[in-house]
Amino acid sequence: MKEREDATEQPFDAIIIGSGIGGLAFASLMAQVAKKRVLVLERHFKLGGFTHSFSRNGYTWDVGLHYVGHLAQGTLFRRLFDFITRSQVAWSKMPHRFEVFSYPKFSFRVPADRNQYIQDLIREFPDEETGIRKYFDDLRRVAGWFGRETWSWSAPGLLAWPVRIINRRLRQRALQTTREYLDHTVADERLKALLVSQWGDYGLPPSRSAFAMHAAVADSYLQGGWYPEGGSAAIAKCICRTIEEAGGVCLVNHEVTNIIVEEGKAVGVNVRIKRGGRTEQRSFRSPLVVSDAGAHQTFAKLLPEHVCVPFKAELEQMAAGTTTVATLYLGLNEDPRRLGFQGENHWIFSSCRHENASDLAQDQITMAFLSFPSMKDPHAKRHTAEVIISVPYQSFQDWQGTTWMKRDESYRKLKDRLTETLLAYVDQRYPGFRDLVAYKELSTPLTIESFTGHQQGAIYGLPATPERIRRRWFGARTSIEGLLLTGTDVCSLGIEGALMGGVFAAGTALGPLGFFRVMAAAHRHAAANNRRRENP
C-alpha cells in the first residue's frame, strides 16, 4: 500500500472520476496512444463500474454486462475492445438463438443472423413483409445516422459540420419516438411488440425512446451476442494492468466529492477516502479532469457552487426520468439445461403493451429479463441466473440515504416479497425454474445509488429521448477548460456507448486529429493480431 501511496505523489497527466468502461477506455487509450500517466478514482470498493463482478457462496454474477453486440472479428467495436484490453479478454459467442421474446400466447426465438431474422418474421407475419423489410433497412440506416451524429457532438467544428449536413436527410425519421415510427411502418400489434422487445437494453418504452436509440441497439445484435470469458471483471483487470504499466494508478474507496475549479479551469479534485471504519480527505491535482460520473452528477453535484451551469434545471428535469431496476441474483443447484435453457436471454412479458409499468404494491410484474451468466462463460464453476425488472424508485424512497447491508426489517421484508414475486413470475412461464434455486439475493436501486452516486440509482445515464438527441446535450468537451466528460452521456447508452464515450473523450484530449490517432492505433493493433494468427 505504501508503494501505491508514493506513486500518487507524482504528477498525473489526467484524473478520471469513476472506473466504468468509459473512464477505463479513456485511461487505456491515453496510456497506449500518448503514453500518459493517469489516475483513476473509484468510490466503490471494486473497479469496473457496471463491468464488475461479485461472488457469494461460490456463485459469481455480473452487475451490468449481460451481453454485447457488434463483436464479430473485424468489426469496429471488436477492434476497440481488443485494443483497450490489449486482446487479453476472450469473447464467447452466445447460442445462435440468443434471445427469446416470450409473451403469454406466443414467443419468438431470435437468430444471430439478420437475413434469417427477417425470414422468420415474414413467416410469422406474411401480411407485413413490406413493413418488416423497411424496418430492417431503416435500422441499418438510422443506426449509421446515430453513430455519425454522436461523433459530431465531440468532433472539432470544421469536421462536425459536414457530418451534420449529411445527417439532415434522416434526422426526422431518427428523432421520432420508436412508437411513432412503428405506427407508420407496421400494423400488427403483436409484431410491433416483438420488434421492441429489447427496449430494456436502453431503458425506455417505445412511447419515450428515440427511434435512433432503438435502431442503434437493435442493429448491434443482428449478428448475435457475445460475453467476456471470465465475466466482465476481466475487462477492468486487463485495462488496469495497462494503466499501471504506463505509470498510472487505479484507486478504490476514493469518492470524488467535488472538482476543483480555479479561474474558470478544472485543476483537480477533492476526495473522501474510506479505510476500514475511517475516512480522510485528500486533494489530487492535474491539468485535465475527466468525469465518468455522468453529466447530472458532474454538473449538478461535483462542480463548485460558484461555477455557473445555465442548463442545470433542465438537466435535473431530464435526469428525473432515468431508468431504475431491481436485480435478483440466483445461485442454481442444477444445470438449467434440464429445463431446456441453452444460455440464451429471455425477455418475459405479461402483455404486448410495453407502456404498462410494474406495480410493486400490487405484486404485479409486467416485464422481466432472465439471463444465465454461467452458461455464457466457459470458465464458470457454478450455475447462476439473474432476473432484472424495471422498478419505480418511489417504491424504495423511504430508505433513501440509509447504509448498504444495514437497512431495517421493513426494507428486508419488501425485498423478500419482491423476490418471491419475481420467482413466481418466471416459474409461471417456465415451470420448474423455482426448484433450481439454491441461493437468492436482491439488489434494488438503493444499492446502485450507494455505489455509483447516480440519482435514484439510475443505470443508463440521461434517457435516450428524441429531445436529448435533438438538443445535442453533451459531447466530450465541456464549457469548463480542463474538464471533459466520458461514458454514456457523451455518446449513447450501454457498454458500447460508454466505450465510444471514452474514445471520443480521448480523441478530444489528443487534439484536433486525436480521434483518428485512436482509430489508427486500434487498426494497427488489429493488424498485428491478424498477422500473429496467420503466422503463429
Per-residue DSSP letter, 356: P
**Structural contact between residues 153 and 468, judged by C-beta atoms closer than 8 angstroms:** no
Q: Is the pLDDT of residue 219 over 60?
A: yes
3-state secondary structure 84-96: HCCCCCCEEECCC
Distance CA 92, CA 316 (A): 39
Which homologous superfamily is 2-90+229-319+460-534 in?
FAD/NAD(P)-binding domain (3.50.50.60)
The single-letter code of the amino acid at 343 is G
Closest by CA to 112, choosing from 64, 69, 66, is 69
Q: Is the pLDDT of residue 6 over 70?
A: no
pLDDT of residue 5: 53
Strand partners, 240: none
Length of the chain measured in residues: 536
Distance CA 270, CA 255 (A): 9
Residue range(s) in the chain whose domain bears CATH number 3.50.50.60: 2-90+229-319+460-534
Q: What is the pLDDT of residues 135-156, one digit of tens each?
A: 999 999 999 999 999 998 888 8
Q: What is the pLDDT of residues 262-300, one digit of tens each?
A: 999 999 999 999 887 799 999 999 999 999 999 999 999
Residue 133: HSE in the Cβ half-sphere, 13 Å Cα cutoff: 7
Q: What is the pLDDT of residues 159-180, one digit of tens each?
A: 888 888 998 999 999 999 999 9
SS3 state of residue 454: coil
Using the Cα atoms of residue 333, residue 339, residue 343 and residue 347 in order, give the sign of their dihedral: negative
Q: What is the pLDDT of residues 111-135, one digit of tens each?
A: 999 999 999 999 999 999 999 999 9
- Cα 292 off chain centre by: 12
pLDDT of residue 2: 44
Q: What is the pLDDT of residues 365-386, one digit of tens each?
A: 999 999 999 999 999 999 999 9
**Structural contact between residues 469 and 175, judged by C-beta atoms closer than 8 angstroms:** yes
Q: What is the pLDDT of residues 28-87, one digit of tens each?
A: 999 999 999 999 999 998 998 888 889 999 999 998 899 999 999 999 999 999 999 999
Distance CA 319, CA 455 (A): 7
Q: Is 531 exposed, middle or buried (0-12, 13-18, 19+ CB in 10 A)?
A: exposed
Distance CA 531, CA 522 (A): 14
- Cα 267 off chain centre by: 29
CA distance to 6, 60, 240, 429, per residue, from 517 (Å): 32, 38, 21, 50
Output the pTM of the full model.
0.93
Q: Is the pLDDT of residue 435 over 70?
A: yes
Looking only at the bridges linking them, the beta strands covering 38-41 and 14-17 are parallel
Looking only at the bridges linking them, the beta strands covering 384-390 and 325-332 are antiparallel
Distance CA 391, CA 291 (A): 27
Q: What is the pLDDT of residues 344-355, one digit of tens each?
A: 999 999 999 998
| DSSP states along 360-412 | GGGTB--EEEEE-HHHH-TT-SS-EEEEEEE--GGGGGGGTTPPTT---HHHH
3-state secondary structure 121-161: HHHHCHHHHHHHHHHHHHHHHHHHHHHHHHHHHHCCHHHHH
C-alpha grid cell for residue 18? 469513476
Least confident segment among 45-49, 59-63, 223-227, 403-407 = 403-407
The strands making up 367-371's β-sheet, listed across from edge to edge, are 107-111, 97-102, 345-349, 367-371, 384-390, 325-332, 437-443
Percentage, residues of the chain above pLDDT 90: 74
Dihedral (Cα; 358, 363, 366, 370), 10-degree rounding: 110
